């Protein structure tokens, strides 16, 4: 039996699982495989070199999905960048190609959210329905996303890969706060890689989960096999935060390059971005995924690396997580006594 939630009903997906929008990883093969497995696939806009390249990636994703009725969206992340991207161009390209679902994340998303809400593509007669999932790392930002009229929030705990913000609040507390404060559906992001995570997120009031690192380690993920095997061999001790001193914190895999960045940031006088630029460049990090040398550059990874022990296909992984969550929810209900009265306490 599938688990249906506000998220599955809103987006018309089978399972309440969203693939994270990962730089260099959210490409057509992965987004199509996740979508075909009944979860929400996600193309990462900035992984494509231009809005036109994103159009082609969207077409390729649709081609790969064939007759599958799955859904995918486009991630737009707004963060400091060595070459500032044409965010608006990416949004328009996606809408012109008929994309209805967007994940926004990062700093000052207001103008991009407004553009997504108001843009009418030349191919459309009227404003089409579109859904925005806005990812944020504080309740304050979640409330402003809600005010801006986004459809769903993705509440990203400190456990996450990539940029967790600067306030260091773990998912348990963030989600419990979300349950009290938010009026719109939210999903749990950061620290989730299995059915136990999905079950926990649902009991914390979330309508689903977002997983990045877990989907990196699947057959269809476009990264080198060596890196998938490195994830399988890693523990939750194997990530580190860089850019703490620049207030652009990012959780990345602990390797020679990330430890050098941390060393430079911690030396007396600290480091300016220019001192780190060559080490941290995304183009260099990309080589890790292409060549399979895990020490070649910076690559994002969440502490869920400690929970990942295999490299399944998306078609195996997605239903497995749902099945595990169902079993855990049933098992917990059967093993605890809520209305056992005094006897339960004797």
Q: Which of 7, 11, 13, 22 binds ligand NAD (CB under 6 A)?
A: 22
Rule CB under 6 A: say whether 30 interacts with ligand NAD.
no
Q: Buried b / exposed e across 316-343, counting CB within 10 Å, b at 16+?
A: ebbbebbebbbebbeeeeeeeeeeeeee
Inter-residue contact 289 to 300 (CB < 8 Å): no
Instruction: Give the span between the Cα atoms of 84 and 51, in whole angstroms.
Output: 13
Cβ 190 to ligand NAD, closest distance in Å?
12
Cβ 30 to ligand NAD, closest distance in Å?
13
Q: How far is CA 181 from the centre of its chain?
A: 22
Instruction: Give the span between the Cα atoms of 308 and 28, in whole angstroms.
Output: 23
Rule CB under 6 A: say whether 80 interacts with ligand NAD.
yes
Inter-residue contact 82 to 248 (CB < 8 Å): no
Cβ 284 to ligand NAD, closest distance in Å?
8
In the complex with ligand NAD, the residue whose CB is nearer, 71 or 241, is 241
- Residues in contact with ligand NAD, total (CB under 6 A)? 22
Minimal CB distance to ligand NAD: which residue?
Answer: 282
Beta-bridged to residue 77, according to DSSP, are: 105
Q: Which of 6, 53, 68, 79 binds ligand NAD (CB under 6 A)?
A: 79
DSSP 8-state symbol, 289: H
Rule CB under 6 A: say whether 44 interacts with ligand NAD.
yes
3-state secondary structure of 50: coil
Rule CB under 6 A: say whether 213 interacts with ligand NAD.
no
In the complex with ligand NAD, the residue whose CB is nearer, 226 or 281, is 281
**Binding to ligand NAD, residues 284-303 (CB under 6 A):** 285, 300
Rule CB under 6 A: say whether 4 interacts with ligand NAD.
no
Cβ 278 to ligand NAD, closest distance in Å?
10
Sign, CA dihedral 6-9-14-19, equals: negative
In the complex with ligand NAD, the residue whose CB is nearer, 90 or 243, is 243
- Rg of the Cα atoms in the chain: 20
What angle, 0 to 180 degrees and rounded to 10, lies between the N-to-C axes of helices 273-280 and 256-266?
180
In the complex with ligand NAD, the residue whose CB is nearer, 72 or 202, is 72
Could you list the residues that contact ligand NAD (CB under 6 A)? Answer: 21-23, 44, 46, 75, 77, 79-82, 162, 243, 246, 248, 250, 273, 280-282, 285, 300
């Amino acid at each position: 039996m599938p688990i249906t939630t506000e998220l599955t009903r809103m987006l018309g997906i089978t399972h309440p699982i969203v693939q994270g929008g990962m730089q260099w990883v959210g490409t057509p093969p992965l987004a199509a495989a996740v979508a075909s497995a009944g979860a929400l696939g996600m193309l990462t806009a900035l992984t494509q070199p231009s809005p036109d390249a994103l159009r082609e990636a969207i077409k390729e994703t649709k081609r790969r999905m064939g007759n599958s009725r799955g859904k995918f969206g486009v991630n737009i992340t707004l963060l400091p960048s060595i070459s500032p991207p044409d965010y608006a161009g990416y949004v328009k390209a996606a809408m012109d190609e008929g994309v209805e679902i967007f994940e926004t994340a990062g700093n000052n998303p207001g103008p991009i959210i407004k553009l997504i809400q108001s843009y009418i593509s030349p191919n459309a007669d009227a404003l089409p329905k579109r859904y925005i999932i806005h990812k944020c790392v504080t309740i304050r930002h979640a409330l402003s996303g809600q005010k801006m009229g986004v459809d769903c929030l993705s509440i990203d705990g400190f456990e996450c890969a990539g940029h967790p913000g600067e306030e260091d609040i773990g998912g348990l507390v963030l989600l419990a706060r979300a349950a009290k404060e938010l009026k719109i559906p939210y999903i749990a992001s950061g620290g989730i890689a299995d059915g136990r995570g999905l079950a926990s997120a649902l009991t914390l009031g979330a309508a689903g989960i977002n997983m990045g690192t877990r989907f990196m380690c699947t057959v269809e993920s476009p990264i080198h096999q060596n890196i998938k095997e490195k994830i399988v061999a890693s523990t939750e001790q194997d990530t580190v935060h860089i850019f703490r001193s620049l207030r652009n914190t990012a959780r990345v895999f602990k390797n020679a390059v990330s430890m050098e960045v941390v060393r430079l940031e911690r030396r007396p006088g600290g480091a300016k971005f220019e001192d780190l630029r060559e080490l941290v460049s995304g183009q260099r990090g990309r080589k890790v995924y292409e060549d399979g040398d895990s020490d070649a550059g910076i690559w994002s990874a969440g502490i869920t690396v400690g929970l990942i022990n295999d490299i399944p296909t998306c078609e195996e992984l997605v239903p497995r997580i749902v099945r595990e969550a169902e079993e855990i929810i049933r098992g917990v209900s059967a093993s605890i006594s809520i209305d056992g009265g005094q006897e339960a306490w004797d």
